Structure 1
Amino acid sequence: MTNLSHLYLSDNKLSGGIPPWLCKLELKDIFISSNNLTGPLLPCLLESKTLQNIDLSGNSLAGELPSKINNATTILYIFLSDNNFSGELPGSIPDTASLVGLDLSNNKLSGGIFTKFGLESSLINLKLSFNDFSGELPLNFGANIQTVLLNDNDFSGKLSMNFSSMSNLQILHLHNNRFTGEIPDSLGILKSLTILSLRNNHLYGRIPKFFANLTQMRIIDLSNNRLNGTIPSNFANISGMIKYDSRSSVNLVSNDLAVDWKGSFQVMLEDESTTHSTLDLSNNELTGEIPEYIGELKALKSLNLSYNNINGAIPTSTGLLESLESLDLSHNKLSREIPTSFDKLNDLTKLDLSNNMLTGKIPEEGQMLAMVDPSIYANNNGLCGIQINVQCVSGPTSPEVLPRDAEDEGGNARILFIWEALCLGYVFGLAWAIWLTYFLGILGPNLIHNVFYHGRNQRSIF
């Protein structure tokens, strides 16, 4: 089939190695993903002068990558994820002028990353996550880059990338590495940034003020670091978290995105990522109160502030988060009552308020009636409500929580205590009167006789 230009054999059960005769064809597309292919990647495939797209992901290919990838002068997309490739990245990759998308994730690649891309590079999407790369990050990936996924490697050092040369960057995933230092202010240059994940590193310091400039942000994950200070007020300017914009879009190198969703990491499809908005600042050292403006972020679907040192009351404005599906405020120092505005969170399916100092009655309207798992409210000794089977006792002061077995039929344990005290006092007084009467009955006649007899002869009996 010497005229064959497009070969689609994905999602089958093909086995064995890549046949050399493929190199003799003038193919434009090779799609043989999700099979059982083994052996090396033939260098001749990536030396083709006609090949534009190659997808061999989801196989068991192994060995090192061909060193002369730049010989493929027409190549646009290279998808080799989910294989067993090892060794270092070929230094020729930045010289592949036509390359737009590169996905080498989920392999065993290691070493320092390749040399930096020039500003004239055509690369738009880069995914090198889930490998064993180490060392510091390269300075930049070219002026056209929009997606950089370098998560789940062993990168270290400070975030010293030249973000000013990547003004079109939309997605930056650097989580699950060993980065240190503060979050650089240079990130504030990325006006197109919509998704930022820096979770599970060793970053410290305050959350920078530049988020006020990143109005397109929809997903911010800074969890599992050592960030301190208060929750900044500049999140109130992020329009991507305030209102859903159907015109927004992101370019994903493999058409999916993994996010922390309701306590577990799940894959989000590309069309879903345009409607999802989340703010995760959990597992840090944040202090202060939750700002009242939080209710303005109405596009949020997930809010996680757990495992910090946040105090004060939960803002009433939280009930304005009409799209919120997941809320985790656990393991803080929050006090006072749960706002009754929680009744308005109609889309809420996951809630955790445990390990705080909350008091008062749990709201009993709307979606809150479905939040009956006791673990949601655990270790808040002042709470009461039907969700935890603790009755609230109304009064002029804060509601008192009384166990059911401590109440009488009228439900008033205080009155029962008073009656018990009165009865005990009556019994004690009666016993004292009987004893005193008995004592006077024995000594009384002798005492009277002595007083009368001696009184006639002496002025005093003493």
Structure 2
Amino acid sequence: MMTTFSNFFLTFVLLSQATFSLSKRCHPEDERILLQIKKELNNPTLLSSWKPHTDCCNSNWDGVACSALINGRVGYLSISNDTKLTAQFPPSIGNISYLESLFIYDLPKLTGTIPESLTKLTKLQYLTIRATGVTGPVPKFTAQSRSLVNLDLSHNNLFGTLPPLLYKLPSLSGVLFNNNKLTGSIPPSYGYFDNSNLADLDLSYNNLSGKLPISLAKLDTYVVQLAYNKLEGDASMLFGSDKKTNVIDISGNRFNFDFGKVQLSKTLAILDVSHNKIYGNFPTGMENVPLLNVSYNRLCGEIPKVGYFNTFDVYSFIHNKCLCGSPLPSCK
């Protein structure tokens, strides 16, 4: 009788395991890769829910979700907000072949380089690696990455030059490389992004240098941020009355051009040109810009008493060659 019960129990266990295995959505290859990533990250507490023999597709694994289009394949991965996680960037992430969204952020002790294998993820649309300790160059994204919509590699320790072929990625709406250690000049190809898609170009707080390529006159995006680099010369090509620009921030550079000759977008809401060598007077339409900073330049003339000029304080205008009028001292 006992033998019969034991056989029954063993059969029940085997059938239960088989049923569970058949019910698991997570593809075994993706499960293997995720567990390898966990190992490469030194098995952090953050990933304690990643356990073998459980289903990564049923919201059991924190930060993991499977694709809505491809059954059983991991399409979403987020690892973030852990000041204690200490490891090199896990190279195995580049092996999750159906990945659509990858978010790695607020991991200050995550070091190493970003693997080039990420550029071979043909379905990747959203890539964020932000506020980490990763270093090395920006990966060279090629035509294989044509699905990429948003590329955020900000607040890291990346060095080297800007990748020149990004403009060939037709779906890009955001390129954020700010707060790194990038050097060299802005490639002329950056004037050839698809303006119907690109909304945000942020290269601020790096060590970029040289003159802006004239091709940037073709750039027509909502946000252009080049603040606090070592750029010089003319930046007037960034402006244009027919552009859709909302934000231009070129502060903290060495730009030197006649401000009075630029044409402002009718949609311009934030303009910061402070801490440069810009000269001349205010361009037509400046009174329609709600947020303005022209301090620490070489501007001249009387500050108009119209529109938004009546709302700005002294810090929007201080340290110019010969600006005068409220909120600065009166003109003589």
- Aligned equivalents of 1:170, 1:240: Cα separation in 2: 14
Q: Secondary structure at the match of 2:255?
A: strand
- By relative contact order (CA 8 Å, sep 6+), the higher-ranking structure is 2
Residue equivalent to 2:12: none
Residue equivalent to 1:5: none
The answer as to 2:85 corresponding to 1:116 is no
Query: Judging changes above 3 Å, is the alpha-carbon distance between structure 1 residues 130 and 47 closer, same or farther for their aligned structure 2 residues?
Result: farther
- Aligned equivalents of 1:46, 1:223: Cα separation in 2: 47
Residue 279 of structure 1: CA displacement?
0.4
Residue 186 of structure 1: CA displacement?
2.2
Is the 1:116–1:139 Cα contact (8 Å) retained in structure 2? no
Is the 1:136–1:156 Cα contact (8 Å) retained in structure 2? yes
The unaligned stretches of length 5 or more in structure 2 are 1-19, 27-43, 64-70
Residue equivalent to 2:137: 136
Deviates more, 1:93-102 or 1:222-231: 93-102
Query: Judging changes above 3 Å, is the alpha-carbon distance between structure 1 residues 103 and 308 closer, same or farther for their aligned structure 2 residues?
Result: same
Is the 1:99–1:122 Cα contact (8 Å) retained in structure 2? yes
- Aligned equivalents of 1:238, 1:117: Cα separation in 2: 37
Is the 2:212–2:232 Cα contact (8 Å) retained in structure 1? yes
Residue equivalent to 1:101: 101
Residue 95 of structure 1: CA displacement?
2.6
Residue 204 of structure 1: CA displacement?
0.8
Residue equivalent to 2:13: none
Residue equivalent to 1:235: 239
Residue equivalent to 1:301: 269
Residue equivalent to 1:285: 254
Q: Secondary structure at the match of 1:228?
A: strand
Counterpart selection for 1:147 from 150, 170, 178: 150
Query: Judging changes above 3 Å, is the alpha-carbon distance between structure 1 residues 79 and 283 closer, same or farther for their aligned structure 2 residues?
Result: same
Residue equivalent to 2:203: 198
Q: Which amino acid in 1 is paired with 2:212?
A: I
- Aligned equivalents of 1:208, 1:55: Cα separation in 2: 47
- Aligned equivalents of 2:311, 2:59: Cα separation in 1: 43
Residue 285 of structure 1: CA displacement?
0.5
Residue equivalent to 1:437: none
Q: Secondary structure at the match of 1:92?
A: helix
Residue equivalent to 2:39: none
Q: Secondary structure at the match of 1:51?
A: coil
The answer as to 2:57 corresponding to 1:92 is no
Residue equivalent to 1:74: 73
Residue equivalent to 1:353: 317
Residue 280 of structure 1: CA displacement?
0.3
Is the 2:50–2:56 Cα contact (8 Å) retained in structure 1? no
Query: Judging changes above 3 Å, is the alpha-carbon distance between structure 1 residues 360 and 223 closer, same or farther for their aligned structure 2 residues?
Result: closer
- Aligned equivalents of 2:286, 2:318: Cα separation in 1: 17
The answer as to 2:308 corresponding to 1:330 is no
Query: Judging changes above 3 Å, is the alpha-carbon distance between structure 1 residues 139 and 73 closer, same or farther for their aligned structure 2 residues?
Result: farther
Residue 115 of structure 1: CA displacement?
2.2
The answer as to 2:279 corresponding to 1:311 is yes
Is the 1:316–1:339 Cα contact (8 Å) retained in structure 2? no
TM-score where L is the length of structure 1: 0.55
TM-score where L is the length of structure 2: 0.74
The answer as to 2:183 corresponding to 1:180 is yes
- Aligned equivalents of 1:54, 1:180: Cα separation in 2: 43
Residue 211 of structure 1: CA displacement?
2.6
Q: How does 1:212-251 map to 2 (within 5 A)?
A: 212-215=217-220, 217-236=221-240, 239-241=243-245
The unaligned stretches of length 5 or more in structure 1 are 1-22, 29-37, 58-71, 242-276, 363-375, 378-382, 385-398, 401-462
Query: Judging changes above 3 Å, is the alpha-carbon distance between structure 1 residues 196 and 48 closer, same or farther for their aligned structure 2 residues?
Result: farther
Residue equivalent to 2:31: none
- Aligned equivalents of 1:50, 1:76: Cα separation in 2: 11
Query: Judging changes above 3 Å, is the alpha-carbon distance between structure 1 residues 212 and 238 closer, same or farther for their aligned structure 2 residues?
Result: farther
